[in-house]
Amino acid sequence: MKKLSSANKGFISVYFLSMLLYCMSIVSIVMINDQRRAKTAMNIQIAKDCFIVESAVINDIRCMIEQNELEDGFYTAHGIMYSLQATGTTIYCTINSELVQALDITFDPVTGALIDYESSRIVTVE
């Protein structure tokens, strides 16, 4: 039987330690990647939900403009509460749903066409 020298025993321990660290690094990278993918999917879903709410409110405002019934106040569109304030060529709208949103809508008062809108989410801390 061949005896292992003390130099070989240390080498084997270092070899297994380095392999363990390498495997742990790979597992950590995969876990971080999965976590980021989950956050991305969650953010995409939130953005999609916000777009659906914005779309319903903008369609309701478009109908008001076409029918010349655009007045300041509180309105409901498809179960979504929002407040409206019109000034000249700009409409300021605050949507009160699960996520509070503010819309700045620019329109042409002569033709009634919506030119542009900007959406921003209002984050409330409880």
pLDDT of residue 9: 62
* pLDDT above 80 (res 8): no
State the first-to-last Cα distance of the chain, in angstroms, to the nearest integer.
72
Tell me the per-residue pLDDT of 41-99, one tens digit each, with 9 for 90 and over.
Answer: 999 998 898 899 999 999 999 998 888 888 899 999 888 999 999 888 899 999 988 88
Answer whether 95's CB lies under 8 Å from 80's CB: yes
Query: Cβ neighbours of residue 107 under 8 Å, at least 6 residues apart?
Result: 65, 89, 90, 91, 113, 114, 115
CA neighbor of 82 nearest in space, from 119, 35, 34: 119
Q: Is the pTM of this model over 0.75?
A: no
Backbone angle region of 73, left / alpha / beta, with phi > 0 → left and psi within -120 to 50 → alpha:
left
